[in-house]
């Protein structure tokens, strides 16, 4: 039932929103005729739209509160149980087979543009899964993750330029260099947490970018490095289309390898240590877990996947410069992890699809992409803070077992 208070709040919200959007939606300067155009129709649309959206928001918030109360009531009714139940989401075999067939025939049906978009999304899946280790599993907020991405890309570009090393020779070297930089970052931040950790990692990412931009003798500065060779296939010279398809299948392999490794790490001893560190750092250390080793391992392994992605990125674009590794890239990768679901592999994959593929396919709405992007993030954080696919946690239920006489 609609109350007078809700009508009043919706009316005030619409007035406030019209006031905020007035300079953008109503005033338009015509530079050709040197006149100001007043678009009052836009103000009416904004007012009516915000008025009804305010009602919708109130309704959704009420539903959320009612759902939370209902859930807590159900939890109180059920008594704790003698049986341990651990349920995980299962991927059905038919769905996996269908997905594999579609992935195999995709590059032979669609254009090179589509293949490049999907390859970019797969690169983001790989590096986001690496950040998921640091943020999602270990609970360490890293805002300078793009620095490891840059290390991998520049490792391939510089080693190829100066020493003529090929893609396959540099791929493990780029991953190893990123791992080394992850350890270097890990040591100064062992005692930091929360906002302080975020500020230090942000500074680290900016230091790497500024070094690459200003050390001309080493990294060729803002001009970047061009003519980076694409990966070869047993010495066979591939055409541009052949190389694009080859990198696409290569990224599918790397993404699958990353998913397998991260999944195994989650269930390993070190994975459980990361989860303990995320939940309570003091209790984790009190239980005998080496906090130093756990943090360094998280930073090092997380950086490894960024290094792999950086090497493939350099080979795919054949040109890199410091402008490709700004703080915005770190934010996008972090948004992929948070939007998909921290700690969830499936969620990170879906987050990469939403944030990387959809903006490319919605170029018709390019003027409103950032507005839609921000709105989606706000709605997700309010109504689904766990992400698209929330991480499944181990749950323990106890029931009174009745023994038969």
Contact yes or no for 273/284 (Cβ under 8 A) = yes
Predicted pLDDT at 84:
38
Residue 85: inside a domain, yes or no? no
Q: What are the pLDDT digits (tens) for 270-279?
A: 888 888 888 8
Q: What is the CATH number of the domain that holds 235?
A: 1.10.3470
DSSP H helices, 341-368, are: 345-352, 358-361
Regarding whether 350 and 231 lie in a shared domain, the answer is yes
The yes-or-no verdict on residue 346 having pLDDT over 50 is yes
Instruction: Determine the pLDDT at residue 251.
Output: 93
277 within some domain: yes
* 66 and 166 within one domain: no
The rounded distance, in Å, linking the Cα atoms of 356 and 364 is 15
pTM of the model: 0.76
133 in Cβ contact with 339 (< 8 Å):
no
Give the dihedral sign, CA 203/205/206/212: positive
**Do 63 and 196 belong to one domain?**
no
Q: Which residue has the higher pLDDT, 212 or 85?
A: 212
Q: How much is the pLDDT for 250?
A: 92
Predicted local confidence at residue 159, as pLDDT: 93
- The residue segments making up the domain with residue 309 are 93-383
Residues 210 and 281 in one domain: yes
Kind of pairing between the strands at 35-38 and 27-30: antiparallel
Res. 179: pLDDT tops 90: yes
Same domain for 140 and 286, yes or no, is: yes
Per the prediction, the chain carries an average pLDDT of: 80
Q: How many CA atoms lie within 13 A of 105 on its CB side?
A: 6
State both tokens at 205: 């990412």
Closest by CA position to 299, among listed 138, 128, 125, 126: 138
User: Are residues 116 and 55 both part of a single domain?
Assistant: no
The token pair at 302 is 């997380």
- Asked if residue 401 is part of any domain, the answer here is no
CA torsion sign for 90, 93, 94, 97 is: positive
Verify that 11 and 126 share a domain, yes or no.
Answer: no
Query: Which residues neighbour 171 within 8 Å (Cβ) at sequence distance 6 or greater?
Result: 156, 308, 311
Please check whether residue 322 lies inside any domain of the structure. Answer: yes
Percent of the chain whose predicted confidence (pLDDT) is above 90: 20
Residues for the chain: how many in total?
A: 405
The domain boundary, picked from 24, 46, 78, lies at 78
What tokens does 292 get?
A: 């130093």
Is the residue at 265 inside a domain?
yes
88 domain residue, yes or no = no
Average pLDDT, integer, range 316-337? 88
Domain end among 43, 78, 113: 78
> What letter does residue 36 receive in the DSSP assignment?
E
Whether the pLDDT of residue 226 is over 60: the answer is yes
Instruction: Label residue 232 by pLDDT band (50, 70, 90).
Output: confident
List Cβ<8 Å contacts ≥24 apart for 216-220. Answer: 218/158, 219/154, 219/158, 219/322
pLDDT, tens digit (0-9, with 9 covering 90-100), for 349-388: 888 888 888 777 777 666 666 777 777 777 777 777 777 7
Residue 101 CB burial class (10 angstroms; 0-12, 13-18, ≥19): exposed
Contact assessment for residue 308 and residue 126, using Cβ atoms and an 8 Å cutoff: yes
Closest of 130, 138, 145 to residue 208, by C-alpha: 145
31-40, 68-77, 96-105, range with the lowest pLDDT: 68-77
In a domain, 279, yes or no: yes
Q: Is residue 237 assigned to a domain?
A: yes
Mean pLDDT of 148-168: 91
368 and 247: one domain?
yes
Mean of pLDDT values over 91-114:
80
Q: What percent of the chain has pLDDT over 70?
A: 84
pLDDT over 50 (residue 76): no
User: Does residue 272 sit in the same domain as residue 165?
Assistant: yes
Confidence class for position 394, pLDDT limits 50, 70, 90: low
pLDDT band with cut points at 50, 70 and 90 for residue 174: very high
* Cβ atoms within 10 Å of 232's Cβ, excluding its own: 15
Q: Do both 181 and 205 map to the same domain?
A: yes
How many domains does the chain fold into?
A: 2
Based on the fold, state whether residues 204 and 328 are members of the same structural domain: yes
Give the C-alpha separation, 259 to 160, whole Å: 29
Query: Is 224 in the same domain as 330?
Result: yes
* Each residue's pLDDT tens digit, 277-324: 888 888 888 888 888 888 889 999 999 999 999 999 999 998 999 988
The pLDDT assigned to 89 comes to: 45
For range 311-339, the mean pLDDT: 89
């Amino acid at each position: 039932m609609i109350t007078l208070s809700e009508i009043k709040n919706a009316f005030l919200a619409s007035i406030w929103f019209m006031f905020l959007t007035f300079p953008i939606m109503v005033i338009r300067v015509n530079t050709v005729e040197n006149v100001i155009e007043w678009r009052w129709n836009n103000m009416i649309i904004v007012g009516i739209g915000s008025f009804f959206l305010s009602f919708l928001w109130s309704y959704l918030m009420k539903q959320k509160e009612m759902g939370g109360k209902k859930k807590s009531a159900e939890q109180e009714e059920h008594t704790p149980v003698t049986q341990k139940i651990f349920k995980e989401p299962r991927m059905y075999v038919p769905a996996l087979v269908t997905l594999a067939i579609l992935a195999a025939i995709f590059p032979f049906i669609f254009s090179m543009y589509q293949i490049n978009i999907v390859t970019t999304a797969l690169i983001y899946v790989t590096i986001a899964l690496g950040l998921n280790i640091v943020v999602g599993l270990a609970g360490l907020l890293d805002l300078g993750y793009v620095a490891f991405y840059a290390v991998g890309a520049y490792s391939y570009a510089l080693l190829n330029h100066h020493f003529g090393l090929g893609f396959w020779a540099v791929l493990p070297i780029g991953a190893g260099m990123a791992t080394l930089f992850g350890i270097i970052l890990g040591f100064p931040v062992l005692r930091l947490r929360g906002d302080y950790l975020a500020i230090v990692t942000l500074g680290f990412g900016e230091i790497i970018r500024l070094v690459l931009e200003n050390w001309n003798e080493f990294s060729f500065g803002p001009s970047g490095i061009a003519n980076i060779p694409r990966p070869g296939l047993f010495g066979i010279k591939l055409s541009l289309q052949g190389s694009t398809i080859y990198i696409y299948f290569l990224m599918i392999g790397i993404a699958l390898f990353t998913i397998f490794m991260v999944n195994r790490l989650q269930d390993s001893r070190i994975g459980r240590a990361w989860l303990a560190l995320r939940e309570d750092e003091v209790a984790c250390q009190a239980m005998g877990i080496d906090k130093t080793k756990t943090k360094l391992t998280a930073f090092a392994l997380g950086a490894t996947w960024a290094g792999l992605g950086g090497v493939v990125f350099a080979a795919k674009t054949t040109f890199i410069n410091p402008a490709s590794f700004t703080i915005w890239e770190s934010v996008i990768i972090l948004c992929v992890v948070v939007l998909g679901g921290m700690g969830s592999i499936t969620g990170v994959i879906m987050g990469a699809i939403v944030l990387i593929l959809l903006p490319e396919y919605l170029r018709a709405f390019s003027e409103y992409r950032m507005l839609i992007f921000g709105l989606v993030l706000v709605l997700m954080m309010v109504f689904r803070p766990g992400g698209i696919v929330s991480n499944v946690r181990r749950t323990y239920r106890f029931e009174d077992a009745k023994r038969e006489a």
